[in-house]
Amino acid sequence: MKKRTYVSLLILTSLLFFLQNLSAETRDNEKIPSQGGTYRRPLEFSPKTLDPALCVDRYSVTVIQQVFDGLVQFDKNLNVIPAIAKSWKISPDGLVYTFHLREGVKFHHGREVTADDFVYSLTRIINPKTNSPGVNFLDRTLGFREFREGRTDRIAGLKSLGRYIFEIRLSEPYAPLLTILGMNKFKVLPREEVERPNPEFGTSPVGTGPFKFVSMKKGEEIVLEANPDYFEGKPHLDKIVFKIFHGSPREEIFRRFKEGELEDSPIPFKDVEEVARSKRYVFVQKPTLSLRFYGFNTQIDPLKREKVRRAINFAIPKEEIGRDILKGMTHLTDRIIPLGMPGYVPVKTGGGYQPQKAKKLLEESGYAEERGVPSIEFWSAARSELAVKELELVKSHLSQIGITLHIRYETNWPKFQELLSTKKAPMFMYAWYADFPDPDNFLGILFHSKSSYNYMGYHNTEVDRLLERARTERDYLRRMEMYRKIEKIVLEDAPIIPMVNHILQMAYQPYVRGVEVNALGESYVPMKKIWLKK
């Protein structure tokens, strides 16, 4: 408990040091919340699936967080607090986690949740037939390998010890496990609904959450309604309608918001100062544990050559992008662990815009004798005005060192995700938002060679070894030092170019109350607390 408290304080202190939260909560504590109303919320892309075990993007997470619950959840300061598990106990050796479940929690179709449902839900993630991107988080579960290899039909480390007691046994300690169980992948699911052949669970989900799935018009909207039997009490809102946009068109979303068609909106950078100053809308601003970066496919030419990747890094005018395009509304970074995350090092790496050094590295890469560097395709899912300006500036600067960049856009998110997962994008722009407050959520997920999110095809044996060690290390300070060492190695290998840590900047209609934002960003806003003062 002392270590978890220390982590929470460290995160909170770092965030406050970086930027004062101007309006992190918009609650009217003097009045009883109003009941009813429809909340219209934008999604910048269409979710690929609403199946928690299979989700790979924050647009899916935004909806999943309202429909499902897990054992634990995060509060506004990212402390782990009870959800369906009302309490838990961890053995002194860190190998046994025992969860005591609330009684009377019901799935949306009416059946009570039991410990067997958690055994099923976590077993399904581990099952190779599911092909879940969350499988590696559970690889220390006792019996994991035997089950994956088909030598047994059940996992020894996942047990029901009665109707309301669920146990996880590990083969070795795994420091971030309790925190990981609060992320979107580990929600409880009803087997009878998941295994129904039609409709597919990912398009017609059934959970225990504060809102129930009603309908989906592909590429247009997703409708949820309040769950009157929710174990924390019926939400204040009657309904949530997610309006789907494509290509992250913030200017269009904000226009629709100003016309009264949405209850909230991300704010285009050029409008942030005006929104903050006018007080016409509720303005919420908070740093998020996030990283937007340019990724390299390290398995193909010319990007398999480290010196080419490093040359491109030195040729990117990051300061100019931050000043002239992003208008200082994000935190420029040259690190992987984001500001506010345990393990963050507030010291520059010594990189930055150095075109002469970039040219020298290209000469050393061997392409000078091979008639120049081959042209490179750069893929982006975002096609907003700012994204286009940024990439055109990058293209211009790379041409000055002899690299031709072909910019390609794919605003259909599932198709863009497929480009990355099949390693068909030589270079790409991508953003990673933390699912849990631990440096492994960035370094482990993005750079372990076996991670399904390692879209760079990056493989460094030493990095894999250190990541495995860090996950079992129970001494907090020693563990953070290990992650800093891992980060240093990865930055030297340059499989990505870190660009910015995002700042959440949202506008809410003046009648919206109960907004609670944490550093995981807008996907984790608990809609069950929001009400409309109309």
For position 277, which CATH number holds? Answer: 3.40.190.10
pLDDT at 389: 95
Same domain membership, residue 466 and residue 340? yes
C-alpha distances in Å from residue 87, one per residue of 3, 21, 72, 183, 464: 18, 31, 9, 17, 34
The total of structural domains in the chain comes to: 3
11 domain-assigned: no
pLDDT at 368: 64
Percent residues over pLDDT 70 in the chain: 93
Same domain membership, residue 32 and residue 91? no
Longest CA span, the chain: 74
387 domain-assigned: yes
Total length of the chain:
534
Same domain membership, residue 353 and residue 269? no
301 domain-assigned: yes
Contact between 339 and 14 (Cβ < 8 Å): yes
Q: What is the DSSP letter of 301?
A: T
Same domain membership, residue 480 and residue 362? yes
Per-residue pLDDT tens over the stretch 261-305: 999 999 988 899 899 999 899 999 988 999 999 999 999 999 999
Task: Give the three-state DSSP class for 219.
Answer: coil
Same domain membership, residue 193 and residue 94? yes
Last residue of a domain, one of 152, 173, 198: 198
Tell me the mean pLDDT in the region 205-229.
96
**What's the domain range around 269?**
23-68+209-284+507-534
Tell me the mean pLDDT in the region 498-520.
94
Same domain membership, residue 294 and residue 157? no
Pairing of strands 239-244, 38-43: parallel
Cα gap 383→379, rounded to integer Å: 10
- CATH number assigned to the domain comprising residue 102: 3.90.76.10
Overall pTM > 0.85:
no
16 domain-assigned: no
- CATH number assigned to the domain comprising residue 406: 3.10.105.10
Same domain membership, residue 304 and residue 272? no
pLDDT reading at 222 higher than 80: yes
Same domain membership, residue 341 and residue 256? no
Same domain membership, residue 294 and residue 183? no
Same domain membership, residue 489 and residue 360? yes
Per-residue pLDDT tens over the stretch 172-184: 999 999 999 999 9
Same domain membership, residue 338 and residue 193? no
> How much is the mean pLDDT over the chain?
91
Cα gap 232→59, rounded to integer Å: 25
CA angle 527-533-534, nearest 5°?
Answer: 125
Closest CA to 361 of 394, 398, 393: 398
529 domain-assigned: yes
Same domain membership, residue 103 and residue 193? yes
